[in-house]
Amino acid sequence: MKKKLVHIIKFLIFFSISSFLFWWTYKGQNFSELLTTLKTQVNYYWILLSLFFGLLSHISRTIRWNLLIESLGKKPRTVNTFLAVMIGYFANLFLPRMGEISRCGLISKYEDISFSKLVGTVVLERVLDIIMLLIFLLIALSTQFSIIADFFTQNPRVSENLSNVFASSYTLYFIISVSLIIWILRKKFRDTIVFKKIDATLKNFADGFRAIKKLENKWAFVWHTVFIWIMYYLMTYICFFSFGFTSNLPAIAGLTVFVMGSFGMVAPVQGGIGAWHFMVIGTLLVYLPEVANIETMSKSFALVVHGAQTGMILILGALSIIALPIANRKYTKPAKA
């Protein structure tokens, strides 16, 4: 009961944050004008094509995760991994980062693989995703520095918040305090059952994180890592052709919008709601200040693109929740790793 209450409270907190960000981004907007734009000035065929690229990225992520899990000595069924990945995306729409835990739990349940080892592989995936995002950011900075600088100039609160996060000493104090307490009590704590359980879990976690060293096909793993992020980029850029005002923007502009939007997705809100919209709208305003009615057009773009991507996750995630137990109804689980 307590666990459910905690989840409900977390959901309400994150939902309140995302709702506020969304309201703040769209406040003062004439919604009849926005609706007219959505009805008359959007070519939704390009939006459907972007969703196809998104589906390819999800399939590629499934294969990449399977490669990591196989290096642990297990071979999960691809259908189980894919359905677990989609349920994970679905869960993230309700609680940020819940998807990573839920997909590990599902594979652990249906394939009898150590949960902590699976968490280690997912953390490794997240580290690689951060590296890829930084690579794309470096490309955007090296080619579109003035645009990004203008974005932060026009949105000083964003740069202030970022600097406050990195400049804050509270995180450092917390880490030092916890480390000192653990070091002082290390001898007394080492022989307890709790320590032994934590130690075993951390060892399994480390095994999962080190799975990359045991990969049999490292080049396939690298290829999928790059492919996933190219598909992410195309999901955004291809949508430029669905609107007249963005159709003539170059591919590198699509990269900048994609990178800025990705930082919005990293924000601790459900599915980047509000944060993604703010980042994308702000970037388009910098690129196209001369376009008539640019604010409404940019807000329409963000609403359609994010709405389509979120809709796909909701549909595929809901179907995956139904399909996963059906797919395993007559499946004999392998021995636990």
Cα dihedral 238/257/229/137 (nearest 10) = 150
Give the whole-angstrom CA distance, residue 226 versus residue 172: 33
Which pLDDT band holds residue 54 (cuts at 50, 70, 90)? very high
At residue 90, what are phi and psi to the nearest 5 degrees? -60, -45
6-20, 211-225, 255-269, 300-314: which is most confident: 300-314
2-36 pLDDT per residue, tens: 555 655 666 566 566 666 666 667 777 777 877 88
* 3-class secondary-structure state, position 256: helix
pLDDT at 295 exceeding the cut of 80? yes
What are the sequence ranges of the domains in the chain? 37-327
Name the residue type at position 287: Y
> Among the listed ranges 51-65, 135-149, 180-194, which one has the minimum average pLDDT value?
180-194
Q: Please answer whether residues 106 and 324 qualify as being in contact, where contact means their C-beta atoms are separated by less than 8 angstroms.
A: yes
CA gap 309, 317 in Å, rounded: 12
Whether 81 and 224 have beta carbons less than 8 Å apart is answered as no
Residue 177: pLDDT band with limits 50, 70, 90: low
Q: Are 107 and 79 in contact (CB under 8 A)?
A: no
CA distances (Å), 145 to each of 38, 218, 226, 279, in order? 31, 34, 23, 16
Q: Give me the pLDDT at residue 166, please.
A: 45
Q: What's the CA dihedral at 194, 197, 199, 201 to 10 degrees?
A: -140
What would the pLDDT profile of 228-265 be if each residue is shown by its tens digit? 999 999 999 999 999 998 999 999 999 999 999 998 88
Q: Which pLDDT band, with edges at 50, 70 and 90, does 293 fall under?
A: confident
Exposure of 214 in the CB half-sphere (CA atoms within 13 A) = 16
CB of 57 within 8 A of CB of 298? no
For residues 25-48, one letter each, b for 16 or more C-beta atoms within 10 angstroms of the residue's C-beta and e for the rest, the string is: bbeeeeeeebeebeeeebeeebbe
Q: Tell me the whole-structure pTM to 2 decimals.
A: 0.79
pLDDT confidence of residue 39? 84
- Helices and strands (H, E) in the chain, number of each type: 14, 0
Burial 314-334 (b: 16+ CB within 10 A, else e): eebbeebeebbeebbeeeeee
Contact 288, 33 (CB under 8 A): no
pLDDT, mean over the chain:
80
Instruction: Give, in order, the Cα–Cα distances in Å from 7 to each of 12, 109, 159.
Output: 9, 21, 31
Query: Cβ(14)–Cβ(268) under 8 Å?
Result: yes
